[in-house]
Amino acid sequence: MSKGDHRRINWLDVVWLLFLGGLAVLPPLWNIRKELTLLAIGIVQVVEGRLVERFPRWGRSYAVLLKLIFSTLLIASTGGPGINSSYYPIYYLPVVTAAVYFGLRMTLLWTLLASGLYCSFLYPALQEYELTADAITELVLRVLFFFVAALVVNRFAVENRRQTKRYQQLAEQLAETNRQLQTAQAEARRSERLAALGQLSAGLAHEIRNPLGVIRGSAEMLNRKLEASNPLASELAGYISGEVDRVSVMVGRFLDFARPLHPETSPRPVTELLDRALKSVAEQWHGGKIEVAREYQNDLPLAPLDENLCEQAFVNLIQNAYEAMGNEGGMLRVQVSKVIRNDRPGIEIRLEDTGPGVSADLREQIFNPFVTTKKTGTGLGLSIVSKILDEHHGSIRVESAPNQGACFVVFFPAEEQAVRKEGALASG
């Protein structure tokens, strides 16, 4: 709340002050105790909101208690015996305040306290007057109406709080749905770009592969014929053949990216493929020492996976993590756990390295084709991984901070049969 908000007086407070000012000019006049008590009630009414804000736990109780005290003082100063005071409706103020702030039980307790304080004026009155049947009826009616007012206001307040909470939940659900929609739109746009680039890559790769074969064959023939007569020309022909092989590998990557995937899925444990990929990358690694920490949750469900494609995706991600840590080495933490994402139960894999991380400007583009942080490479590895996950109805995202490593988060939906079985066991 700003300073301007503190200085601004609520219009309802103005109404209360006018109401209390009207009581001040009614009989009994020139009663200093009455005027001071009304002033105190007005002050409490004005500062009540700030009191509740300042003391979140006890502020509401303080407000009701102060109103009870000042209401009792007002009754005591405006009647012969206080029980006969025409100002007894002032007790509706603390009763209604309690009904607005608290639940039914506390509302009844505060109303009972207000009734007890009002009835306490009966004792001194009995010292001078006789209690008639009509007086008892009048007293009971007044007390009962305290409770009636408390119950009516409390029911309205509780219903209002329930509706407010419901609207808040609806607003949160709407915000979450909107966020999911934006994510889905971003993934759809990325898929469209991948499809268009895939078609272009496939056409280029096919057109390039044929002349590459001719060049390679010609270079090999020159190498054989010139090997004895012209060693320099033979060496140059060997360079041509080697570079053609390198380009052929790159063309193969283009074709892997462009080729439509037809995964043949079967229920498999994700950790089994992860372990194979970790072993494969570790055996071929020649850089710094990499420590691998595995954290696998127990009782993981099976997931419908294509063994070869998923192992290829894991190898690409793990290889990237190793290369990011390079000759300095580091730690690769692999966490696998059960999650529910977008109301879909599944398995989440987190691959967290201690490399340099991914900059913020690349985080949204890193899964696009030809985007890479390496000095060499085609920038297709993560695009292929993203494509494999799309075919498995999964997802991948990257979490990173500068100089704090990268964390790739992969999600696979669980097998439906395993989900139904787990649900049946939970309900049983």
Do 356 and 210 fall within a single domain?
A: no
Task: Please check whether residues 50 and 103 belong to one and the same domain.
Answer: yes
Asked whether residue 414 falls in the same domain as residue 355, the answer is: yes
Clarify whether residues 275 and 236 are in a common domain.
Answer: no
pLDDT at residue 285, as a whole number: 92
How many domains are contained in the chain? 3
Domain boundary among 258, 276, 304: 258
The answer as to whether 338 is a domain residue is: yes
Instruction: Kindly state whether residues 289 and 351 are assigned to the same domain.
Output: yes
In a shared domain, residues 334 and 251: no
101 lies in a domain?
yes
Residues 295 and 218 in one domain: no
Domain extent, residue 249, equals 183-258
Looking at 97, 131, 165, the residue that finishes a domain is: 131
Q: Is residue 211 part of a domain?
A: yes
Judgement on whether residues 27 and 110 belong to the same structural domain of the protein: yes
Q: Mind giving me the DSSP string for 35-74? A: HHHHHHHHHHHHHHHHHHHH-TTTHHHHHHHHHHHHHHHH
Same domain, 120 and 9: yes
Using CA of residue 10, residue 16, residue 18, residue 24, what is the dihedral sign? negative
Q: Does 86 share its domain with 194? A: no
Is 80 contained in some domain?
yes
First and final CA of the chain: distance in angstroms? Answer: 51
Cα dihedral sign, 145-146-150-151: negative
- For residue 5, the model assigns a pLDDT of 46
Biggest CA-to-CA distance, the chain? 141
Give the pLDDT score at 159.
92
Residue 176 lies in a domain: no
User: Do 237 and 284 sit in the same domain of this protein?
Assistant: no
Q: Are 288 and 330 in contact (CB under 8 A)?
A: yes
Residue 150 lies in a domain: no
- Residue 375: what are its φ and ψ, rounded to 5°? -70, -30
**Amino acid at the residue 49:** G
**Helix-strand-coil percent breakdown of the chain, rounded to 5?**
65, 10, 20
Residues 79 and 214 in one domain: no
Distance CA 289, CA 294 (A): 16
Q: Which of 209, 238, 211 is nearest to 224 (CA)?
A: 238
**pLDDT computed for residue 2 by the predictor:** 44
pLDDT for 196-224, tens place per residue? Answer: 666 666 666 666 767 777 787 887 787 77
DSSP tally for the chain: helices H, then strands E: 14, 7
Name the stretches of the chain with pLDDT < 50: 1-7, 418-419, 424-428
Residue 407 falls inside a structural domain:
yes
Question: Is 149 inside a domain boundary?
Answer: no
Domain endpoint, select from 202, 236, 258:
258
